[in-house]
A and B are shown apart, each in its own frame.
Chain A
Amino acid sequence: MLNVFNYSFMVNALIVGVLIAVCCALLGVVLVLKRFSMIGDGLSHVGFGALSVAAVLNFSAPLYFSLPVVMAAAFFLLRITQNSKINADAAIAVISSSALALGVFLASVNGTNINLQQYMFGSILSISETDIAVSIALSVVVISLYVLFYNKIFTITFDETFSGATGIRTRLYNTAISLLTAVTIVIGMRMLGTLLISAMIIFPALTSMRLCKRFFTVVVTSVCVSVCCVTAGLLTSFTCEGIPVSSTIVLCNLLLFAVFSLLSVGKKLINKKKSN
């Protein structure tokens, strides 16, 4: 096991993986509770389209192209979700599949330059020094935002109208959260791929909500669940050669979700017996 640290790409993957796991969990709790889970999925598809465009245009660093595009998309998707006139989930589905189609189209026209498989399902080999730097900066921002504004994030997530009515700038917070989600997704996509990154955002929150009934414990448990799954997934994929890391991470998440669900059913049964 120790020889994991002899490979620099594994060390890089572990650093970026754990940091992204923390960000995904923290942002995911808010997104899931606000019924914004679809935004994460939509953004990852837009990210795929942006990467393909960057490849076609021969950008040396596709990150610098996809990051602003996905951030703009995040801003736009949030507006759609908040506008009650538009059917938001349908609109997001249309945008995300269009972006995916554009990406596949450009990748195929362009020929051999782009490794489609790598974009779809990610790879730990593609993690660069820039990714490490961006993910460290991102997690510092996300964690300090959470610590400093924990109570406000709680209030806005629970009841946006009330927060707005009593003078909290809900729009600012919503925008900040969706922009940070965009950065998280663009970085996380390299490792987990377009199709599976949204699981990292949704699973930890759902898993912890099986058992935890307070906002604070949900947040803390989500982070633990997320970090455990990424680490376990990375190590499994390292030990069993040839299995993409994205699949092992998502399957770890699924396993923990099942365990937590069983525990929650057990807890309910015990409580019922007690009250009888």
Chain B
Amino acid sequence: MSLINVENLKLGYDGKCVVEGITFTVNEGDYLCIVGENGSGKTTLIKGLLGLIGKLGGTLEYADVLSKNHIGYLSQRSEHMADFPASVREIVMSGFLNNRSFGFRYSAFEKQTAEKVMAQVGISSIQKKNFSSLSGGQQQRVLLARALCATKKLILLDEPTSALDPIATSEFYSLVKSLNKNGITVIMVSHDVTAAVRNASHILCLSQAENFYGTTHEFMHSETGRRMLVSDCPCDDCQHLSCKEVRFNA
């Protein structure tokens, strides 16, 4: 079932266009990676998808099951979080807020869900700790847990590994992959094209010249994909004759 349908979308600030001609579809269970050079409009697209900025043209449709209250968003960490006085639990629980108008206490169900989510991303043991005392990788897990509290269907991740060391990065990717296997649809913005093709099911590549959208396999054998990937395609399919031809011709 398609959750998000984007056609020829045009986005920008103050009437000035930043990206245009974006077309893609996100189906339930997909893992879409949005890649592209700096300044190609990746973060602008995320803001558009979240409704933080209005569109300048084209269509952007959400499935009825996906109201705004059902998108979990993992933002880029901002610097003022560094000394923010809050426990891990407080932050994770704050993910539930979009589903209520006001109130001081959380329900028993929400507490239970939070416990489950914290176990899922492996932060149960540190839930009483202070957020600012955690490592970058742990902080990112906490924010992921908060996003999961806000959603049951779709999470949007904006360059989640940009401040992580290689080990924390690969741990984070496998965590997201396992969430995706459990049925959560993932949209991730990333610089890291190599990791994107390893994990994602679909790739959207933004570029000044021409945008690419397709499955990961199609991306790896496209002109854009070959330009961006330094290494050879690692997939099994590439043993096939047609792919060899593609490589030979290139």
Which residues of A are interface residues toward B (Cβ below 8 A)?
A: 33-35, 147-152, 154-155, 157-159, 161-168, 209, 212-218
Residue among A147, A149, A162 with the highest chain B CB neighbour number at 10 A = A162
User: 7 nearest interchain CB pairs?
Assistant: A166-B98, A165-B50, A213-B130, A165-B73, A155-B94, A167-B68, A161-B75
B52 touching A151, Cβ below 8 Å: no
Q: Chain B contact residues (Cβ within 8 angstroms of A): what range?
A: 20 to 34
B86 touching A162, Cβ below 8 Å: no
Q: List 22 A-B contacts (CB under 8 A).
A: A33-B84, A34-B80, A35-B80, A148-B102, A149-B102, A150-B104, A154-B90, A158-B86, A158-B94, A159-B75, A159-B78, A161-B78, A162-B75, A165-B156, A167-B98, A168-B97, A209-B83, A209-B85, A212-B85, A213-B86, A213-B87, A218-B85
B104 touching A147, Cβ below 8 Å: yes
Nearest-neighbor residue (CB-CB) of A155 within chain B: B94
Residues in A neighbouring B69, C-beta threshold 8 A = 166-167
B22 within 8 Å of A (CB atoms): no
Contact of B104 among A151, A159, A163, A218 (CB under 8 A): A151
Chain B positions 45 through 83: 1 when the CB is less than 8 Å from some CB of chain A, otherwise 0: 000001110000000000000001101110100101101
Give the CA-CA distance A168 to B68 in the complex, in Å: 10
Known A-B contacts A165-B71, A166-B69, A166-B73; A213 and B97 likewise in contact (beta carbons under 8 Å): no
Give the CA-CA distance A167 to B95 in the complex, in Å: 11
Give the CA-CA distance A15 to B52 in the complex, in Å: 43
Q: How far is the CB of A37 from chain B (nearest CB, A)?
A: 12
Contact of A159 among B81, B103, B132 (CB under 8 A): B81
Residue among B50, B85, B90, B133 with the highest chain A CB neighbour number at 10 A = B85
Give the CA-CA distance A83 to B130 in the complex, in Å: 31
Q: How far is the CB of B74 from chain A (nearest CB, A)?
A: 8
B187 within 8 Å of A (CB atoms): no
Nearest-neighbor residue (CB-CB) of A166 within chain B: B98
Residues in B neighbouring A213, C-beta threshold 8 A = 85-87, 130, 132-133
